[in-house]
A and B are shown apart, each in its own frame.
Chain A
Amino acid sequence: MEILVPLMNGFAVALTPLNLAYLLAGVLMGTLVGILPGLGPTAGIAILLPATLHVEPVTAIVMLAAIYYGAMYGATITAILINTPGVPAVVASTFDGHPLARKGRAGAALVMQAVASFVGGMTGLVLLVLIAPFATVFATRFGPPEFFVLSAAGMIAMGAILGADRRSGVLSALLGFALATIGLDVGSGQPRFTFGSADLLAGVPFVPLAIGVFGVGEVLHAIRGQNEAGPGPGSEASLSRVNVPTSAEWAESRPAMLRGSAIGFVIGVVPGVGATLASLIAYGVEKARSASPERFGDGAMAGLAAPEAANNAAASGAMVPLLMLGVPGSAATAVLLGAFLTWGLLPGPLLMTENPDFAWGLIASMVLGNLALLTVSLVAVPAFSAIARIPFGLVAPIVIVLCVVGAAASTGGAFGIIVMWAGGLLGYAMKRFGFSTPALIIAFVLAPLAEDSLRQTLVISGGSPTIFLDRPVALVLGVLTLIAVARGPIRASSSKGPP
């Protein structure tokens, strides 16, 4: 196959000692940036960008891309262990990842996340090499109508996480939508619900809200649980439990990973939608297909494997529009695109042909980077799963400190801390009264995408909804979504009970 020649050249580029050193540095820094909630891959790349100005562009992109996908691995560790997703793409990994940790199976969950991430990342890369030219055609079919249909599919998938009480779940999601309307409106440029606050013009920031609602809310809830009902989460971990996935769990996770990888790559290729939607839809699909959906939300291994494979496959898929079109698909890839210009490279369709070493060196380095991440993650599993066995009384203050630091770092000041505490109280109250915090956060992430794309669509069509029928990709996606709905709503009673 002629495609192997440039790929082999890519490996030759990636395997030089300098590039390998930068790759490993990027992988480790990315994992670290992911583990500590707050900075996130976008900020991590931006901070390290100046440090790359004095090396070759290939070396620089190898390191910066490693930070990008390394952060996906790292963020999941925090999401599993302390229920605190530092990036939107790992929110879906908390649904079953954290219940597993609470049951004392943090080790098994971490092994699964490492393997699923690796499978997702590698499948994404194989697809990237094999079908990138075709995928480019696919990527250029997405305008606002298609984005809206995709976000609608995301909302259907959200049905999988509404919780035991469907009415509370829907209310939680509506609250998430409401929070997302705060800020400067893209359509009209007018501020909405900001009450004169300059901080709120940018909207409620995701990172402090998510670590407040999940991390702080969880700790507050656990404190109450300990006081009232004996040992709370974290303390029930028992050493005797099996701390690797069982063969039954491998069996259910293998197809979940493959489906998650495929979904992740396809959605990752679409510029601007990315890993969050991919992981959520992968989770929804897995739960809908499962013979025992009631285990989802209560520590089903497939419910962790699918979104993990999906978000890492999406990170590979995002390289298609970035390398082949010069169109950034996410905030993090937008920074990478800006970096291309800083290095004197012109992003766009000519990049692959005029700088093959750069593009193929990057792809080859991602293969090596995923291998390195798998190794690092598996080696670190005992250390991280030990964290899950630390008594709750010791872990709780550390979690709070991490959350405060992360919230402050993400907004550069006290505003993030205020949002985090407000989110923490909200998260606590929601858990206490049986509302769904995942539904709130997912709705908060999906709402701007859905709102902007719907409004853009209707401006384009002059208010006529038939535009969704005129555009083939939107039509096909819409029909698929409707079929998914018609095949039976995801059972309401199937989600997690009170912990």
Chain B
Amino acid sequence: MTHRSSLARRLGTLAVLGLAACTGQESGRDDAPYPSGRLQWTIPFGPGGGNDRMARTLIEIIDQYELYPAAIEPSNRVGGSGAQGWGWIFARRGDPYQITTISGSFLTLPFQAGVPWSPADFTPVALLASDDAVVVVAADAPLTTFEAFLATARDRPVAIGGVGALNSDVLTLQGLARQAGFTLRYVSFNGFGALSSALLSGAVEVVVTSPGEAIGLLQAGTIRAIGYAGDAPPSWMAEVPTFETLGYGDVVVSMPRGVVLAPGVGPEAQAWWVETMRRVAETPEWADYLETAGLRREEVYGDAFGEALGELERVFRTAFEEGR
């Protein structure tokens, strides 16, 4: 096995070089006041998606108000519904310069894909918003109202599309199907591009997505929103009925959008970020972002956020097991 050991040695050398390169980048030292070093912001999804837009908005606001004294370096570590990015952060235990933005799959990956971490491992900073699903149909589709959709779905299978196989949208749909009494025929897509073309082509009749993804097609009138899962829709689709008014308020599972640090980060760094995120959340720029992205403001900070994450994970896990 000489070949293998020499490969292992070479890889070892590379790893050492890599580590040296990483530590070389960090100017922050243990004795320096926090924060003083370059911050690495891991975005576990591709550029242009919901998580990416939120992370980049936060970074922009932090820069604009000069809240962080050193450079912030965003990197998209994409793959496995976020498993790649959060796994990367998980491996940087105790490093206060590693931060990431969370999405729904942060809660579902541990029981869905058996990743070695759970949300409770990370250092909680802030829940900033809830991403509530919107139910849309093509503008020329015969199903023009939520009631018509439910009535048809009870009558015959209706193909409903969404992004991903297990997330808050699917859990909401499963609850809706149970309560309204129809059989769910859910089709999972890779991203909004394929999903929206499937809807426009008539291959799926109904789509569940984030308001922030659908805003362009909605405002052009190419697609129509027939139901919104949150309690108050964004002003640009104020006329859309909520699940609450439709009588299905308790089936809604919201997708949390927030920020966590690497596992095992000390209370000083955690407190610094809680304070900073509070200030970010007060800015008019953040309010603008929430409005256009169709996000609902929901703020929970520090350890209370950690507890909320634990509670949400239980909700997701229960819904997942019921849905099987």
Residues of A within 8 A of B (CB): 42, 45-46, 49-50, 53, 139-147, 183-191, 196, 198-199, 201-203, 205, 271-272, 321, 325-329, 331, 334-339, 341-342, 346-351, 412-414, 417-418, 421, 452, 456-457, 459-460, 462, 471, 473
A348 with B84: CB separation less than 8 A: no
Additional A-B contact list (13), CB under 8 Å, known A184-B81, A336-B48: A139-B197, A143-B204, A183-B80, A188-B165, A201-B84, A325-B217, A328-B48, A346-B215, A347-B216, A349-B217, A349-B221, A414-B18, A460-B159
Give the distance in Å from the alpha carbon of A121 to the alpha carbon of B320 in the complex. Answer: 48
Q: Could you say which of A46, A334, A417, A460 contacts B203, with CB atoms under 8 Å apart?
A: A460
Q: Report the bound CA distance from A74 to B10 in whole Å.
A: 31
B188 contact from A49, A143, A186, A321, Cβ within 8 A = A186
Which of B30-38, B71-79, B143-151 lies at the interface with chain A?
B71-79
Whether B25 is near chain A, meaning CB under 8 Å from some CB there, is no
Q: Is the CB of A338 within 8 A of B11?
A: no
CA distance A339 to B197 in the complex (A): 20
B222 within 8 A of A: yes
**Beta-carbon contact of A460 and B185 below 8 Å:** yes
B131 beta carbon closer than 8 Å to chain A: no
Give the distance to chain A from B14, nearest Cβ to Cβ, in Å: 6
Alpha-carbon distance between A49 and B83 when the two chains are bound, in angstroms: 24
Does the CB pair A143–B48 fall under 8 Å? Answer: no
Q: A447 → chain B, closest Cβ, in Å? A: 14
| CB contact under 8 A between A199 and B113, given known A271-B193, A341-B53, A460-B185 | no
Q: Complex: how many Å from CA A321 to CA B196?
A: 11
Contact B46 A459 (CB under 8 A): no
Chain B positions within 8 Å of A321 at CB level? 193, 197
- Asked if A417 contacts B80 (CB within 8 A), the reply is no
Measured CA separation A342–B87 after assembly (Å): 27
User: When chains A and B are docked, how far (Å) is the Cα of A199 from the Cα of B159?
Assistant: 33
Contacts of A183 in B (CB 8 A): 79-80
List residues of B (180-206) whose CB comes within 8 Å of A's CBs: 185-194, 196-198, 200-204
Determine the distance from Cα of A199 to Cα of B169 in the docked complex, in whole angstroms. 26
Let me know if B48 and A334 touch, CB within 8 A. Answer: yes
Q: Are A184 and B292 in contact (CB under 8 A)?
A: no
Instruction: Enumerate chain B residues within 8 angstroms of A413, measured Cβ to Cβ.
Output: 18
Distance between Cα atoms of A143 and B75 in the complex (Å): 32
In the complex, whether B266 has a CB less than 8 A from a CB of chain A is no
Give the distance to chain A from B201, nearest Cβ to Cβ, in Å. 4
The total of chain B residues at the interface (CB under 8 A) is 61
Enumerate chain B residues within 8 angstroms of A462, measured Cβ to Cβ.
Answer: 157, 185
Residues A334 and B47 in contact in the complex (CB < 8 Å), given A186-B188, A202-B84, A349-B222 = yes
A186–B47 CB distance below 8 A: no
Known A143-B201, A188-B165; judge A198-B193 contact (CB<8 A).
no
Known: A189-B164, A321-B197. A338 touches B220 (CB 8 A): no
**Whole-angstrom distance between the alpha carbons of A145 and B204 in the complex?**
11
A-B contact pairs, 21 of them (CB 8 A): A42-B46, A50-B56, A142-B197, A143-B201, A143-B202, A145-B203, A184-B83, A189-B81, A190-B113, A199-B87, A201-B79, A201-B113, A272-B193, A325-B200, A338-B53, A347-B216, A348-B215, A349-B217, A350-B216, A350-B220, A460-B185
Q: Which A residues are in CB contact (< 8 Å) with B7?
A: 421
Which of these, B108, B197, B220, contacts A272 with CB under 8 Å? Answer: B197
Would you call A341 and B80 a contact (CB within 8 A)? Answer: no
Task: Tell me whether B216 and A348 are in contact (CB under 8 A).
Answer: yes
Closest B residue to A143 using CB positions: B203
| Residues from chain A with Cβ under 8 Å of B114 in the complex | 191, 196
What is the distance, in angstroms, from B242's C-beta to the closest C-beta of chain A? 23
CB distance from B154 to the nearest CB of A (A): 16
Given known contacts A146-B201, A414-B15, is B193 in contact with A327 (CB within 8 Å)? yes
* B166 interface contact, C-beta 8 A: yes
> When the two chains form their complex, are residues A412 and B75 in contact, meaning their CB atoms are under 8 A apart?
yes
Whether A198 pairs with B75 at a CB distance below 8 angstroms is no
In the complex, whether B219 has a CB less than 8 A from a CB of chain A is yes
